Chains A and B, each alone.
Chain A
Amino acid sequence: GAVVSQHPSRVICKSGTSVKIECRSLDFQATTMFWYRQFPKQSLMLMATSNEGSKATYEQGVEKDKFLINHASLTLSTLTVTSAHPEDSSFYICSVVAANYEQYFGPGTRLTVT
């Protein structure tokens, strides 16, 4: 069964609103989670590294004030897209590295901003 879940799987929101995406590690604790973004017909690009109990590390070009990441527990990381715009429409995927060094991906969240 799935070891990483994401909620919601799909979300449509209006421009200017905020959207929160959850990434849960179901079977193990994870001190580190990764957030990726995939635009249509493109590859996955790392947005940020989420560290439990500390601030997230963002990749160059990713606005930390727009994409708020909170890794409040060892099983949950959240990504909040603030003041969303149509260009933020994308497929957001999280991944978790388990203690056995395997990396597990969530099923992804498809965000559409109208």
Chain B
Amino acid sequence: AQKVTQAQTEISVVEKEDVTLDCVYETRDTTYYLFWYKQPPSGELVFLIRRNSFDEQNEISGRYSWNFQKSTSSFNFTITASQVVDSAVYFCALSERRYGGSQGNLIFGKGTKLSVKP
């Protein structure tokens, strides 16, 4: 069975601090996708990243970076120099990688609520 675990329920930091959100996943699939989404209070999901299980390279996008390690089944997300606007709930998710590269439905973790205080 597929499962995503986000052990941190809530994190509170002060602006400009770095913060890492943990994500551990379980799957029997040999190919899969991993995702991170941001959900502000409005509720709309904001796509942050999709990572193919073939690609273990870490990725950096501005203040965001992701560390994918298949050996530990982890896909952690780091925000550098956090800002108040980063306050939101962040979800890690997993989907199967179907034939041709398409995605199945997403299995979400329980989310981590990040509060960044000025």
Contacts and interface: CB of A to CB of B under 8 A. Distances in A.
Binding partners A and B: yes
Interface of A: 34, 36, 38, 42-46, 49, 91, 93, 95, 97, 101-103, 105, 107-108, 110
Contacts of B91: 43-44
Given A44-B106, A93-B45, A108-B44, 10 more contacts: A36-B106, A46-B107, A97-B103, A101-B100, A101-B103, A103-B95, A103-B103, A103-B106, A105-B44, A110-B43
Interface of B: 37, 43-45, 47, 50, 91, 95, 100-103, 105-111
Contact of B102 (A46, A101, A107): A101
B26 to A, nearest CB: 15
B45 A42 contact: no
Contact of B45 (A34, A45, A101, A105): A105
A95 B102 contact: no
Contacts of B44: 105, 107-108
Given A93-B45, A105-B44, A105-B45, A43 B103 contact: no
B114 to A, nearest CB: 14
